[in-house]
Chain A
């Protein structure tokens, strides 16, 4: 990085550190923070969308749809999220490739499962094995987003379902008295008011989401925990110009500080949003809102 970094073994103190902290490997660590943040900001709306779908399904008048919605909501209660992370990605990957395989190579007559191999035709590979590495990374990243989205969507479905029920029933009755159809009263009366009740629960969910990100490495994303382990480990002078002992403690302390700052910042911002949204709403502050959380 810096011009004086050509021979690190002659450096010491801050000069050495400045070179060490600007190697290509360190930059992979820094960018992984970006990866985690981008993933969080993409996952949140995805999870919300899944949640919204789940909540609507759980309220549906059609029984099978309602069962699906309720099962989806119940899913995260019974089973630790980590268990889903352990096999969702491979399941999704194989599922998608299987669908593409059916569509792209209808003449293929060899079995897809050969022993332990999962074999689809070359056109059905996702992404194609000839595509550049960046596409593979984007694909992995999307699978991770999708997995997080499904699992945390179940959490948010639960929150939104509760919030929809918290909107006073009289509001809907009034809307119907004005001649609105169920669809109209849902979109024009229920949904706009629901957010207020859902906000505390959703804020909580955002915190949960932040704290679940160390598990990203399970989904094949090289995240901050992966790099903290990799960079913190003892560096042997045979293989690096910057040898050092076991520094994992320092790297993990850095992660701790990052998470504490990030959750604190989120808390402040969310509190501000809540205050702004409750402006002019017919909600009696905390007591009533808590019932919806």
Chain B
């Protein structure tokens, strides 16, 4: 098989298209690059969707934790504590058990045990807890003057939040949120590692890397390939989030704009 044919056969293998059987012998670099790259589709899928849904939930959590009534504050505090205080690995494992139990209750819950939905929910809750904490910190450091000014204009409630608090909070929290996004993508490699099974050999980048490491008994090729793909992915995330950051800060004078310093602050 030439490399082009390999790419044609395996580029979408992780989604179940193309050649059904994984390579069994005479492994080539091209096969490893293609299949592991194909697995990256899932890493991107989990990362993008968990971030998108998690963003909304994180802001709600930040507001709830900042609220005065204990009915709102306490559940949010516990939620954040549980998800930030325990390893994601254990969370995946327990979630899989929970979803299995729910499945016995009603067939409505059937899709939950599939990695595509179940693992996404865990990642979504997990990133929401971490970014909720980031946005809470940002919310608490919104300058008091901004709020006074909003009051002076007669803004209240929703209008004040939408026009003053939210944009400033986003701007202040963005650099830390960028880090969270990077490490969420890293965390997606854990999906097929604890609990969730792989169906029809459809897995993520690390799943295929392990497949090759097991078949070739040589870990020194497939894992660096995963590393290579993740470096590319990280650069893409930094680029995108940096662009958003520039837009969030475009009203500020040049020298006051905060550049994102990528710092590995958050991981699970």
By a beta-carbon cutoff of 8 Å, the part of chain A in contact with chain B is 76-83, 86-87, 90-91, 116, 155, 158-159, 162, 201, 204, 208, 210-215, 225, 248-249, 252-253, 255-256, 259-260, 263-264, 287, 290, 293
Contact = CB atoms under 8 A, between A and B. Distances in A.
A158 B84 CA distance: 22
Nearest to B193: A82
A80 B187 contact: yes
Contacts of A158: 263-264
A214 B87 contact: yes
B206 interface: yes
Given A78-B231, A86-B210, A212-B87, 15 more contacts: A78-B234, A79-B226, A79-B231, A80-B187, A82-B193, A83-B226, A87-B223, A211-B268, A214-B89, A215-B89, A255-B90, A256-B94, A259-B86, A260-B81, A290-B137
A91 B230 contact: no
Q: Which 9 A-B pairs have the closest CB atoms?
A: A80-B186, A78-B231, A87-B219, A214-B89, A263-B85, A211-B87, A79-B227, A259-B86, A78-B234
A213 B87 contact: yes
A83 B86 CA distance: 21
A59 to B, nearest CB: 16
Contacts of A252: 90, 93-94, 97
The range of chain B's interface size is 35 or more
B15 interface: no
Contacts of B193: 82
A116 B86 contact: no
A116 B230 contact: no
Q: Which residue of A80, A86, A249, A260 has the most chain B CB atoms within 10 A of its CB atom? A: A80
B267 A81 contact: yes
Q: Which residue of A81, A162, A214, A293 has the most chain B CB atoms within 10 A of its CB atom? A: A214
Q: Is the interface of B mostly helix, strand, loop or mixed?
A: helix
Contacts of B187: 80
B234 A225 contact: no
Interface in B223-265: 223, 226-227, 230-231, 234-235, 261-265
B158 interface: no
B267 A162 contact: no
Contacts of B223: 83, 86-87
A211 to B, nearest CB: 4
B190 interface: yes
B239 to A, nearest CB: 13
B264 A211 contact: no
B216 to A, nearest CB: 8
Contact of B94 (A78, A253, A263): A253
Contacts of B220: 87, 91
B94 A79 contact: no
B230 A76 contact: no
Contact of A162 (B97, B206, B210, B263): B263
Nearest to A261: B85
Contact of B206 (A83, A90, A204, A211): A83
B241 to A, nearest CB: 13
A263 to B, nearest CB: 4
A290 B138 CA distance: 11
A260 B182 CA distance: 24
